[in-house]
A and B are shown apart, each in its own frame.
Chain A
Amino acid sequence: MKKFLSIVLVCIFTSSFTYADLVVVVHQSSPLTAITASDLKKIYANKLGKWEHGGAIVRTVLKKGSTYKSFCKKIKKSSSKLKRFWKKQVFTGKGPALKVFSSENKLLEFVETKEGAIGFVDSSSDTSKVKVLQFIK
């Protein structure tokens, strides 16, 4: 029991991070100029699967890091819940997997080439080849 409590206490005190400023990006062909917090939340909750202007929504995320944490906060879902939720979508047949990228450059390259893609990156990233959406709270 003592060992178990020790593990628990170590785990509690080893978690810390800072939040980053982020921007929501989509493929250049998207007619959208802005996205609401509500729609962003619905997209990543698999409640919106199709763009209003047509085409399937292709969701991307970063694997980890402060930008990813900041995004999770924005859609009001913890990192672990978001990952578990999407595993459930995949393994129960409810939806496609999130496209996960280990770096912002790789995510941006994907959004640049994939119509219907949406993602988020740090505001300091080079977003010249994608479209940055205004975020409406």
Chain B
Amino acid sequence: MKKSYLMVWLLLIGVQSLYSATLEDIEIHGYMSQGYLKSDTYNFLADRSSDGTFSWAEYGLNFSTQPTDRLRLGMQLFARDLGSQGNGEVKLDWAFGDYKFSDNFGLKIGKIFAPIGLHSGGRDIDMLRNSALLPQGVYSELFRMLSSYTGAEIYGEHEFSENSSLEYRVFKGSFDMESDARVLKELVLEMNGTPGSTSGEIENAWGGGFIWNAPIEGLRLGYSNLKQGVNIYYDLPAANAGGPFSAGKNHLYLDMDNWETFSLEYSWKKWMYTHETLEYRYNVYNQNTFLAERTETGYYDSAIYRLNDEYEIGIVRSIYYFDVNNGKKGEVTGADWLDYQIDLGFTLRWDIDDSWVMKFEYHDMEGVGHVREYEHINTSMNPAAPATTYTKKDWDMYVVKATFSF
């Protein structure tokens, strides 16, 4: 673990002991997670994870207050590390004003978690779920920039009966794209053969979602959709130029008109079953020239059993397909394992007390669809890109993570 992260851990523990989490009018809370990743083959998610790496951590510190009965203000500072991403740089995770016109209807303005699926909001907050590694079929690290947007949102809940209601959210805004975002790095690597300078932005995004709390106790059904345009700017060496790819500055545009997520969650006694499906369609343009159309999809099923207050076990099967037109749902064969990834994960969550959580996981992987995913796009779009060198279809991943929160 790097020294700077150890300092953050000590600082957060210090804050907790100083403030006991609550001042008179301002609440202060925080969390910190430290993970360990070990893959037996590929560097997945973090550099050198094939050797085993501790380069996986998240830290959050939030402040909130409620100046009136209807108005709530808050912000959360966030830093993370995942391989070469994040590097502990402190950023704003969310910061918004939330005005409730009534208990059932409100307006938020600021930087807000997006309503995509059940886990997109708070994907970095490890203690909120069973598994440390989110199912990549739906919550890919490649698109983590979609977790929060800057803009405005109206939200509410309509009650049909005492046991049934519809929660809804509609928003408009823009998403930040970090310069070290995995999707940018991989794209540039493929476009010009070497990592180079790049930047991106997602503006004029809008979307929404709803969750129907069904009259059957424990059953929730959700749907969300997001429409966005992704602008990516990068430099291309003259040697790799040709056709729609210009030497020098290039503008790549992903027109994503459909980012759909379906969710189903059913809780019964100590069991919880979840199914979520994500499908997104986009057209790719470089310098306004149409390059390709893709529809990618992924889904997962998970079953969780709470043994007692301390232990919870789970099994999750997550599947991702790079191109639904090129085989999906078991139709893929032979070398097509480059274009899909199936993750069968076994999880154990241990709630040591109200503040500490430990997780232990084993993931049986098949395919490499999410291991440097954008190499495949580039292979078809830019023949000058380097060839891929995947050698093994089946591989394993081990995960351990500890989280402290107050």
21 A-B pairs in the complex with CB atoms less than 8 angstroms apart: A8-B307, A11-B308, A12-B307, A15-B309, A38-B162, A47-B157, A49-B100, A50-B70, A50-B100, A56-B69, A80-B312, A88-B125, A88-B128, A90-B62, A91-B76, A93-B62, A93-B94, A94-B98, A96-B64, A97-B27, A99-B22
Number of interface residues of A (CB under 8 A): 36
Which residues of B sit under 8 angstroms from A8, Cβ to Cβ? Answer: 307, 311, 313
Contact of A80 among B29, B125, B351 (CB under 8 A): B351
Q: Does A7 contact B (CB under 8 A)?
A: yes
| List of A residues within 8 angstroms of B66 by Cβ | 56, 96
Within 285-327 of B, Cβ neighbours of A (below 8 Å) are at: 306-313
What is the CA–CA distance of A83 and B74 in the complex, to the nearest angstrom? 21
Question: B192: CB under 8 A from chain A?
Answer: no
Q: Across the interface, which residues of B come within 8 angstroms of A95, CB to CB?
A: 72
* Contact of B103 with A50 in the complex, beta carbons under 8 Å: yes
Residue of B nearest to A15 (CB): B308
Contact bitstring A1-20, B, C-beta under 8 A = 1, else 0: 00010011001101100000
Residues of A within 8 A of B405 (CB): 87, 91
**Chain B interface residues toward A at CB < 8 A:** 21-22, 27, 29, 31, 60, 62, 64, 66, 69-70, 72, 74-76, 94, 96, 98, 100, 103, 112-113, 121-122, 125, 127-128, 157, 162, 217, 267, 270, 306-313, 348, 351, 354, 405
A31 in the interface (beta carbon within 8 A): no
Restricting to A27-62, which residues have a CB under 8 Å from any CB of B?
38, 47-50, 54-56
Known: A50-B70, A88-B128. A93 touches B348 (CB 8 A): no
Q: Which residue of A lies closest to B155 (CB)?
A: A94
A91/B60 in contact, CB under 8 A: yes
A78 contacts B by Cβ under 8 Å? yes
The verdict on A127 contacting chain B, using a C-beta distance below 8 Å, is no
Task: Give the top 7 A-B pairs by smallest Cβ distance, nearest first.
Answer: A15-B308, A11-B307, A11-B311, A93-B74, A91-B125, A92-B122, A50-B69
Cβ–Cβ < 8 Å partners of B128 in chain A: 84, 87-88, 91
> CB distance B351 to A97 under 8 Å?
no
**Of all chain A residues, which has the CB nearest B312?**
A80
Q: A8-B311, A87-B405 are in contact. List 16 more A-B contacts (CB 8 A).
A: A11-B308, A47-B103, A50-B70, A50-B100, A56-B66, A76-B217, A80-B306, A80-B309, A91-B122, A91-B125, A92-B121, A92-B125, A93-B74, A93-B76, A94-B98, A97-B22
Q: Which residues from chain A contact B103 at a C-beta distance below 8 Å?
A: 47-50
Chain A residues, CB < 8 A from B121: 92
Contact A79 B309 (CB under 8 A): yes
Residues on A with C-beta less than 8 A from B22 are: 97, 99
Would B96 and A93 count as touching, CB distance under 8 A? yes
Contact between B270 and A78 (Cβ–Cβ < 8 Å)? yes
Q: Which of A47, A49, A83, A92 contacts B354 (CB 8 A)?
A: A83
Contacting pair A97 B29 (CB below 8 A): yes
Q: For A91, list chain B residues within 8 Å (CB).
A: 29, 31, 60, 62, 76, 122, 125, 128, 405
Q: Which residue of A lies closest to B346 (CB)?
A: A4
CB distance from B336 to the nearest CB of A (A): 31
State the Cβ distance, A132 to closest chain B Cβ, in Å.
Answer: 25
Inter-chain contact A11/B310, CB cutoff 8 Å: yes
* Distance, CA A100 to CA B22, complexed state (A): 11
Residues of B near A96 (CB, < 8 A) are: 27, 64, 66
Closest B residue to A94 using CB positions = B98
| Shortest beta-carbon distance from B60 to chain A in Å | 6
> B217 to chain A: which residues have CB within 8 Å?
76
CA distance A136 to B291 in the complex (A): 65
- A4, A15, A49: the one contacting B307 at CB < 8 Å is A15
Which of A84, A91, A97 has most B Cβ within 10 Å? Answer: A91
Report A-chain residues with C-beta under 8 Å of the C-beta of B312: 80
Taking CB atoms, residues of chain B closer than 8 Å to A38 are: 162
Q: A67-118: which residues lie under 8 A (CB-CB) from chain B? A: 76, 78-81, 83-84, 87-88, 90-97, 99-100
A78 touches B125 (CB 8 A): no
- Distance from A130 Cβ to chain B, minimum over Cβ atoms (Å): 20
Q: A11-B310, A93-B62 are in contact. Are A87 and B270 (CB under 8 A)?
A: no
Within the assembled complex, what's the spacing in Å between the Cα atoms of A81 and B270? 10
Q: Decide if A7 touches B311 in the complex (CB within 8 Å).
A: yes
- Residues A93 and B125 in contact in the complex (CB < 8 Å), given A38-B162, A56-B69, A87-B405: no
